Amino acid sequence: PVQVRDPFSKPPVSQLKKTGETFLQDGPCFEVAPKLAKCRECRWTHSQRSKNMPNIFCRFYAFRRLRYTKNGQLAIAGFSDPHRDAAEEDLKLWLPQTDCPPPDLDVDMTKFLLMQVGDHFCDLLEQEKEAVSIHLADDKTIAWKRVVQGVREMCDVCETTLFNFHWACGKCGFVVCIDCYKVRLCTHPKLVNDLELLNALIWSCDINNNCFQLVGASV
């Protein structure tokens, strides 16, 4: 059986302050790190949060990493790394379950399924290769966002569901899919007459301000 690891498990604060070791943000910004940059949801006032809490979820929960500086202050320490932070139970979402394959999946059915979805998977792979090539930020590290129960990742521009590469603002958590990133990258808002397209191009974050983090698949 796979041993489930608690991603939020960390040494005592006293030890973290001595070592400077990074740890995963385990709560909303306004509670865990009120003096650091807050995500879009945590910037709401207390009354706004109380009224809308069922629809609010911290963008940096289980995603942003923190650390203590030498003077004991909290600081941002990047985001989850798929090579370092993904545990065995996380990898199970991406890998075939060879120890217990579906009983009705014979060779013919396998070939049929590959014929139906193979081209689509290849298209997704090419899209992700392109995403890496057009990523503007100086930091080319690809972050990883683990699955959070009950949370559906969506593009803040077009509201499509996200399951592959996308971008997240490291300052506020604004999330953008590959298609919207490409459109914004290639089009200047001042040259657009179509109102719907213009709304899609005007973001709360500047694509050129080096704050967007490329994020790998969470599912």
Q: Which of 125-129, 138-142, 154-158, 177-181 has the lowest mean pLDDT?
A: 138-142
Tally Cβ neighbours within 10 Å of residue 100: 6
The rounded distance, in Å, linking the Cα atoms of 61 and 147 is: 11
pLDDT in the model for residue 219 = 43
* CATH architecture of the domain with range 82-219: Ribbon (2.10)
The rounded distance, in Å, linking the Cα atoms of 64 and 192 is: 35
Domain range list for the chain: 1-79, 82-219
What is the pTM for the complete model shown? 0.77
Q: Which of 45-49, 80-84, 149-153, 161-165 has the lowest mean pLDDT?
A: 45-49
